Chain A
Amino acid sequence: MIKVSQILDVLNAQIVCGNTDLNQDIDFGFASDLMSDVLTIDSDNLLLVTGLNNLQTIRTSEMSDIPYILFVRDKKASEEMKSLAEESGITLMECRYSMFRACSLLCNMGLEPVY
């Protein structure tokens, strides 16, 4: 389990919309650009790490009850994505690191994998 504040510190990430309580705990992490794969996950309280920045990333997370999304490689969430995320109670974060580097750091911090 890790805190949102750790993600911001270690990955130099920023919250771009959603809940700004840095003390929130996150249990699991899953990294994918394939939304079909994301839709197969059963874990709760999960951080999705992805480079896919379109509306379906947010829709998929809404359907899968995913509360946190981290966009890597400097991918930016559009205003439409932010609006949909706000409506769905999803916190969006952005960082410049690659997916591999972000996952490696998150794993070292203690974020649990799904499988």
Chain B
Amino acid sequence: MDFKFDIEGGNFSNAGTASSDVKKVLKKLNVDPKLIKRIVVSIYEAEVNVVAHAYEGEMNVSIFPDKIIVRIVDKGPGIADIELAMQKGYSTASPEVREMGFGAGMGLPNIKKNTNELNIKSTVGVGTEVELINYLN
């Protein structure tokens, strides 16, 4: 089962709509609520990252009987130092993003905490691809 959602950079009024739709699908599939929370918190963090940092992006969700794979690809400034970005407290977010309650450098570490596998590829000046894998059993 595959789904694709577009994410608009800079538009905080729509931030979270893709994650919300994924949550509704997982509920319909009767996935364990605690697992749903882990998955949607991590993809919401990733979606907010696209809105906060990139120009545009898309979320591709593939649901298998044993796992869910979410790939979030954006066109944006990219991440120069992924290891540094993974550190708690490190952020390049704008004041506007901070006013929305984000940009404290907690997003990527929280994504890692809530996923079984996290893969990040990024090219400065081009964009970032984040892959999140959660096992359903």
Q: How many residues of A contact B (CB 8 A)?
A: 21
Interface string of A42-66 (1 = CB under 8 A from B): 0000000000101111011011110
Residue-wise, chain A 30-49 has the 8 Å CB interface mask toward B (1 for contact) of: 00011111111000000000
Q: Which residues of A contact B41 (CB under 8 A)?
A: 39, 63-64
Tell me which residues across on chain B come within 8 A of A64, comparing CB atoms: 37, 41
Pairwise interchain contact B106-A65, C-beta atoms closer than 8 A: no
Q: Which residues of A contact B103 (CB under 8 A)?
A: 36
Q: Which of B23, B101, B106, B110 has the most CB of A within 10 A?
A: B101
What is the CA–CA distance of A54 and B101 in the complex, to the nearest angstrom? 9
What is the distance, in angstroms, from B43's C-beta to the closest C-beta of chain A? 9
- Residue of B15, B16, B19, B23 with highest tally of chain A CB at under 10 A: B16
Contact A56 B16 (CB under 8 A): yes
- In the assembled complex, the CB of A46 is this many whole angstroms from the nearest CB of chain B, namely 12
Cβ contact within 8 Å between A35 and B101: yes
The answer to whether residues A63 and B37 also contact, given A39-B45, A55-B13, A56-B12 and a CB cut-off of 8 A, is: yes
Partner of B101 from the list A60, A80, A88 (CB cut-off 8 Å) is A60
Interface size bracket, B side: 20 to 34
| Residue pair A39, B13 in contact (C-beta under 8 Å) | no
> Which chain B residues border A40 with CB–CB below 8 Å?
106, 110, 113
Contacting pair A34 B101 (CB below 8 A): yes
Is B104 positioned at the interface, with any CB of A under 8 Å from its CB? Answer: yes
Contact status B23-A62, CB under 8 Å: yes
Residues of chain B within 8 A (CB-CB) of A63 are: 16, 19-20, 23, 37, 40-41, 44
A54-B100, A54-B101 as given contacts; A36 in contact with B13, CB under 8 Å = no
Could you say which residues of chain A place their CB within 8 Å of the CB of B13?
55, 80
Partner of A36, one of B15, B40, B107: B107
Closest Cβ of chain B to A65, distance in Å, is 5
Residues of A within 8 A of B55 (CB): none
Judge whether A55 and B37 touch: CB under 8 Å: no
Query: Of A36, A56, A65, A88, which is within 8 A of B110 by CB?
Result: A36
- CB pairs A–B below 8 angstroms (7 shown): A36-B104, A39-B45, A39-B110, A40-B106, A55-B13, A56-B12, A56-B102
Query: Are A57 and B23 in contact, CB atoms less than 8 angstroms apart?
Result: no
Nearest chain B CB to A57's CB is how many angstroms away?
7
